């Protein structure tokens, strides 16, 4: 099954918590704090795997979470870092932030990797908070959460030649005749619902050819299969535009050619710069009314090379392959511009440190900063409480409470803890 789009959720590992520990050894009367730091959470990393050709794996698994860092422990021993999560994808995959539709990475070739979500930093152990005046800190910092994102993946096929044209003009028959591909072939529209790839061997050369499902008028705006497969044309080097010259469906070949090109160029104007040849298919069904001659004359006037062929009987097929092979020799292999966003260290505190809401007369303070500072505080220790109060002042929580109307003695709730507001 060919799958070329997917939406998944990725979450990097949470950092481990710092430890509260004190040195306890024989003959050491007053050992100091020796709590170690938490380990760093694992990253979520995408890597290109040449053996993959579709995004089918993501049809069945939608959520990916990297390993968290281990908590620190005594003797200043840091927790183990979490293992990175490696996600394999095929070459040609583009990665978007599903929420904003912002492109994060375009990965066209093997040997590349992209860090989509950074693991959270480990929290400091209490050994970090020892000072000449605070010699036995009874608190440590919690680890930070890892980055998390909903991602959209899109695969653009990497092929040398792309077959385009209306449905039922013979693209799949042509592909089956010239390559090792075995596409479904039948005499009805949209027989081909997914792109097919085939390897064409000519003389001592070979190249990849892609059969793109039939395009119809309005495809650039989403009609028919619309945008689902137009993207696969963008990375081909030559387009073979197949038309039904026999008029078996009562359509004008010249008009068909014009409509498809209008859709291609409306979707991406750069497609007009690609080499394109016209293949007048079903020549074995011509009635002798001069349809091919009129088509050839009209397209020659527009600057296109035309081949007369019958994919069903093999007439003219080898000439098209020979021409494509010669043109590919002249064309440089396009360098697809790679694009990678370097994700900054994930810092949820910087994005949304806290919010203050008044519910039933109680001032509720919530947010990632609050979760971290409350979970790191030992409310039974005076030094830890002093650290907690200084952190609230520095972060602007006290000022925000005043602006929200909090006065002396009002109740403030942070997670499961409640306090009386004191100016």
Using the predicted structure, report yes or no on whether residue 140 has a pLDDT greater than 80: yes
Rounded to whole angstroms, the Cα distance separating 362 from 366 reads 12
Q: What percent of the chain has pLDDT over 70?
A: 86
Domain 1-155 has CATH 2.60.40.1510: no
Using the predicted structure, report yes or no on whether residue 222 has a pLDDT greater than 50: no
pLDDT of amino acid 3: 67
Q: Where are the domains of the chain?
A: 1-155, 161-330, 352-420
| pLDDT one-digit tens code per residue, 327-345 | 888 877 665 555 666 554 4
Angle, helices 253-267/291-302, rounded to nearest 10 degrees: 30
Angle, helices 317-330/171-178, rounded to nearest 10 degrees: 80
Q: What is the mean pLDDT of residues 184-200?
A: 56
CATH class of 161-330: alpha beta
The enclosing H or E element of 351 equals helix 348-351
Cβ-contact 63, 157 below 8 angstroms:
no
Q: How many residues does the chain have?
A: 423
Using the predicted structure, report yes or no on whether residue 349 has a pLDDT greater than 60: no
Tokens of 413: 């709730």
Domain 352-420 has CATH 3.30.300.350: yes
Neighbouring CB atoms inside 10 A of 396's CB total 13
| pLDDT one-digit tens code per residue, 29-77 | 667 889 999 999 999 999 988 788 778 889 889 999 999 999 999 888 9
Same fold, 161-330 and 352-420: no
Q: What percent of the chain has pLDDT over 90?
A: 18
């Amino acid at each position: 099954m060919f799958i070329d789009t997917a939406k998944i959720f990725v979450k990097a590992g949470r950092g481990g918590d710092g430890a509260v520990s004190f040195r306890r050894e024989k003959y050491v009367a007053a050992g100091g704090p020796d709590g170690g730091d938490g380990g760093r959470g694992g990253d979520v990393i995408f890597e290109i795997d040449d053996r993959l050709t579709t995004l089918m794996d993501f049809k069945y698994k939608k959520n990916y979470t990297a390993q968290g860092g281990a908590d620190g422990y005594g003797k200043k021993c840091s927790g183990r870092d979490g293992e990175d999560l490696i996600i394999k994808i095929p070459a040609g995959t583009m990665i978007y932030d599903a929420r904003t539709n912002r492109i994060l990475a375009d990965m066209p070739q093997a040997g590349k990797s992209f860090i989509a979500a950074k693991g959270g930093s480990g929290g400091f152990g209490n050994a970090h908070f020892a000072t000449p005046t605070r010699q036995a800190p009874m608190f440590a910092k919690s680890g930070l959460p890892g980055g998390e994102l909903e991602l959209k993946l899109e695969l653009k096929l990497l092929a040398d030649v792309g077959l385009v044209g209306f449905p039922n003009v013979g693209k799949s028959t042509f592909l089956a005749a010239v390559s090792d591909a075995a596409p479904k072939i039948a005499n009805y529209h949209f027989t081909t619902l997914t792109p097919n790839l085939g390897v064409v061997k000519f003389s001592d050369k070979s190249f990849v050819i892609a059969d793109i499902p039939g395009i119809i008028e309005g495809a650039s705006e989403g009609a028919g299969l619309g945008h689902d497969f137009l993207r696969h044309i963008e990375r081909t080097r030559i387009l073979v535009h197949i038309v039904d010259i026999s008029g078996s469906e009562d359509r004008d070949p010249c008009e068909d050619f014009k409509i498809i090109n209008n859709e291609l160029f409306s979707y991406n104007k750069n497609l007009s710069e690609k080499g394109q040849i016209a293949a007048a298919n079903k020549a074995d069904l011509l009635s002798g009314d001069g349809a091919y001659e009129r088509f050839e004359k009209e397209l020659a006037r527009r600057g296109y090379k035309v081949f007369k062929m019958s994919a069903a009987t093999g007439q003219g097929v080898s000439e098209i392959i020979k021409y494509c092979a010669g043109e590919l020799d002249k064309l440089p292999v396009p360098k697809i511009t790679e694009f990678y966003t370097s994700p900054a260290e994930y810092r949820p505190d910087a994005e949304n440190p806290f919010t203050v809401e008044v519910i039933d007369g109680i001032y509720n303070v919530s947010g990632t900063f609050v979760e971290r500072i409350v979970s790191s505080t030992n409310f039974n220790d005076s030094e830890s409480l002093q650290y907690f109060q200084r952190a609230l002042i520095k972060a602007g929580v006290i000022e925000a409470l005043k602006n929200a109307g909090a006065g002396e003695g009002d109740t403030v709730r942070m997670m499961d803890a409640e306090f009386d507001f004191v100016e």
